[in-house]
């Protein structure tokens, strides 16, 4: 990767899956689980002209985990639509992701060739970051997740450059952690924030809080469509 990664804290320890030809696009994949496992998944659906950057979530005390320290982008007080939220932590995490976007832009990849994506809390952060980002992005992949600070939208997106941004949202129908109904509510909320025709919400029978080959195939198809070779 070009440039000084040390100036962007999340990039210093990020796992990067490089393209096999000239990189003309980038995908940020965020997860609050083991990032190397997610990087392995990205390798399986890699496109030769796309670079995948998988930053590590910092280790912080998490309320939902009895205040034990674990990798987490922001504190979690609960996993229901009415749970209190770590507003300062969410906004701070989003700014850190925007710093990565700025870094890529400075190093030759336009913002409209940058896609955000992630699983669970990482998907939630991807949605919030993209919807509050002034730069026009290529899209968002949001897996098994929700929209943080959902009550602040659509006002929170008033200066966003992503009103017409495509979003692929996927969810397991048997998810015990983040019920699929929560995902469906998120999809409906997104339709009043961005162009509803750009929202794709897919569910997978029998899938719990994880991924599956069919879902990954949908993700690859989405990336290929939104980030074609140029």
| Whether 120 is catalytic | yes
Give the HSE-up count for residue 221: Cα atoms under 13 Å, Cβ half-sphere: 8
Instruction: Report DSSP state, residue 11.
Output: H
User: Which residue out of 72, 75, 86, 120 is catalytically annotated?
Assistant: 120
DSSP codes, 197-228: GGEEEEEETT--SS--HHHHHHHHHHHHHHS-
Of 49, 209, 210, 211, the catalytic one is 209
The answer to whether 164 is a known catalytic residue is: no
> 29 vs 97, 122, 127, CA distance in Å?
10, 7, 12
177 and 191 Cβ atoms separated by less than 8 Å: no
CB 24 within 8 A of CB 113: yes
56, 103, 126, 175: the catalytic one is: 175
Provide, for the chain, the percentages of residues in helix, strand and coil under a 3-state DSSP scheme, each rounded to the nearest 5: 40, 20, 40
- Please report, in angstroms and rounded to a whole number, the separation of the first and last CA atoms in the chain: 19
Q: Can you spell out the DSSP letters for 158-201?
A: TT-S-TT--EEEEEETT-SSS-HHHHHHHHHHHTTTS-GGGEEE
Torsion of CA 130, 132, 135, 138, to 10 degrees: 20
Whether 72 is catalytic is no
**Which residues are marked as active site?**
120, 175, 209
């Amino acid at each position: 990767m070009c440039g000084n990664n040390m100036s962007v804290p999340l990039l210093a320890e990020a796992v990067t899956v490089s393209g096999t030809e000239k990189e003309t696009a980038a995908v940020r994949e965020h997860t609050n689980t083991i990032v190397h496992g997610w990087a392995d998944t990205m390798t399986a659906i890699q496109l030769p002209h796309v670079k995948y950057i998988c930053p590590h979530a910092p280790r912080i005390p998490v309320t939902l985990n009895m205040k034990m320290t674990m990798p987490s982008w922001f504190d979690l007080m609960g996993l229901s639509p009415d749970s209190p939220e770590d507003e300062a932590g969410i906004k701070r995490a989003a700014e850190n992701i925007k710093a990565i976007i700025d870094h890529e832009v400075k190093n030759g990849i336009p913002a409209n060739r940058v896609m955000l994506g992630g699983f669970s809390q990482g998907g939630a952060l991807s949605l919030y970051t993209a919807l509050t980002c002034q730069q026009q992005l290529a899209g968002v992949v949001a897996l098994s997740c929700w929209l943080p600070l959902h009550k602040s939208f659509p006002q929170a997106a008033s200066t966003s450059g992503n009103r017409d941004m495509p979003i692929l949202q996927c969810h397991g129908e048997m998810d015990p952690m983040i019920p699929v109904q929560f995902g469906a509510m998120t999809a409906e909320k997104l339709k009043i924030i961005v162009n509803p025709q750009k929202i794709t919400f897919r569910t997978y029978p029998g899938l719990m809080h994880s991924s599956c080959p069919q879902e990954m195939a949908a993700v690859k198809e989405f990336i290929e469509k939104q980030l074609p070779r140029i």
